[in-house]
Amino acid sequence: MNIGVDARLLTGTYTGDRTYWRGLLKAFAERLNPTEYRLTLFSTRPIPSDALPESSLYAFVVAPARNERLWSLFQLPKLAQAHACDLIHTQYTVSPFFKIPAVTTVHDISFLIGPQWFPLKDRILLRLTVPASCRRARRVLTVSETSREDMIRILCLPPEKIIATPNGLPEGFHPIPRAQAQAWAREHYGLEPPFALAVGVLQPRKNWELALLAVQMARSQYALPIRLALTGKSGWATRALQRAKHDLNAQEWLIETGYVPDEHLVWLYNAADVFLYPSFYEGFGLPPLEAMACGTPVVASNGGALPEVVGSGGILLPPDEPGLWANAIRSILVYDDFRANLCAKARQQATRFSWRTTAERTLQAYRQALQPD
């Protein structure tokens, strides 16, 4: 079986989408026999050598493009045909010009659930392309049961067409002795304990204003000398976050690190006293999973699929009740037994997520997509 993959997302900085492709394709290399399978990876730029392990399973095809959207619409179908692919796997977009079965991954449809979280241009583009792509695809993969149910309900897709393939745990996230991690965070980022950590793109859906409010309340109501480290690349419409920083005089206790690579992030997770993830909605939520794998106490919202990911490994709270979040921070910082129990549950919960399982479910979807209608 020759499986074509739109692998463009492997060529940039790793975020959630890129982590998904890297984890899935590496799991395929560990599981699939190259004499039976081939993964033809199409990209507009060379894929970095450290993105994937060396494997005879992979074949790389680089076809530069002036316009990425037009490339996926017109050129990718021609490339898949020219390289004799039996099936194509894309993300979000399925061109009407494919002459072979297509499988597409749609991580979530939050652009329909909370359109106010997206710029107008993105809302229009996603509404025009994603529902139509889901109808064209033989199978649609998504990363949680919550997202699957959303797609069945909102897009009116047949349940058998949508397969939940939860993400695995990204590699490199593991416990580090706390004192050692705190010393590293102090040296590299000037972070003094105790501090709360928040990780993600700076955009409205992530609800970072609540993280600021919760830390401010923990400081003012419970006299905790806690700081907040906010880590992530810039997004759009961060005016509410800037206003919250000003109103709360957060400059005294807020540290904004910008984007942090995974090899640094593991140290920050381990150094943090608590991890906060107040997102209004997530189709999955990799940062809480990474934090739990490090044994860091997690306080996350109950929005979207986060209860599936966090489970009993953390504290789940409404994304609009900062007082509850402040109290959770206090409990973690003040009660050592409570913290230790939560850390143990976090590590246990993280072991439930494996890229091997993701790959097996994805391969099952490929086989189904190749079956005649």
Q: What domains are defined for the chain?
A: 2-168+354-369 (3.40.50.2000), 178-350 (3.40.50.2000)
Q: Look over the chain and give the mean of its residue pLDDT values, rounded to a whole number.
A: 95
| CB count in 10 Å sphere of residue 111 | 17
**Whether the predicted pLDDT of 362 surpasses 80:** yes
Full-model pTM:
0.94
Q: Enumerate residues 6+ apart whose C-beta is below 8 A from 329.
A: 196, 214, 215, 218, 222, 224, 226, 274, 276, 299
Dihedral sign for Cα 279, 283, 287, 288, please. Answer: positive
pLDDT in tens, 260-282: 988 999 999 999 999 999 999 99
11: confidence class by pLDDT, cuts 50, 70, 90? confident
**Whether the predicted pLDDT of 237 surpasses 80:** no
